[in-house]
Amino acid sequence: MTANSFMSQQQLGKIYSNICKKEVFIHTQTVKESGTQITLQLAGRYIDKKKADLIWHGNDYLVSFNVDYKGKIGIGGFGWAMDIFDVFKTWDSFKGFLNKHMNKFDGYDEEQYGQLCLF
């Protein structure tokens, strides 16, 4: 599985459009492959203004990034919220971001262009 397994470039464009408009959205994709299941969820949401002022420098619109994993190394995941959205601007920046955080899971591969597969 690769970044393309979780999202297309068109879907990322729509998500970035939602983010720019500060719209509420949820994108969830589960991929099962070779005994591994990974679920990626991106969600745009608003938080309480008091928390925004206290924690997020006044930014009340956040995008959460959550990953759930079930596979050979166990069950787990990670997640966080962001108030800076540059990572969603282009496919290459998002793919690099995803590759950086997902490469720890078995079954996830970075796409390598220019390589020849003989299988």
- Interval 12-41: pLDDT, tens: 999 999 999 999 999 999 999 888 899 999
Q: For residue 106, give the nearest of 67, 78, 72 by alpha carbon.
A: 72
Per-residue pLDDT, 28: 97
Residue 99 makes CB contacts below 8 A (sequence gap 6+) with 3, 110
> How many structural domains compose the chain?
1
In a domain, 111, yes or no: no
In a domain, 118, yes or no: no
In a domain, 107, yes or no: no
CA distance 31 to 3: 11
CA angle in degrees (0–180, nearest 5) for 70-85-33: 20
Could you list the residue range(s) of the whole structural domain that residue 30 is in?
3-102
In sequence order, the β-bridge partners of residue 79 are 66
In a domain, 112, yes or no: no
In a domain, 85, yes or no: yes
CA distance 70 to 88: 26
User: What are the pLDDT digits (tens) for 50-109?
Assistant: 999 999 999 999 999 999 999 888 898 999 999 999 999 999 999 999 999 888 877 787
pLDDT at 112 over 70: no
In a domain, 109, yes or no: no
What CATH code is carried by the domain that includes residue 34?
2.20.130.10
In a domain, 116, yes or no: no
In a domain, 66, yes or no: yes
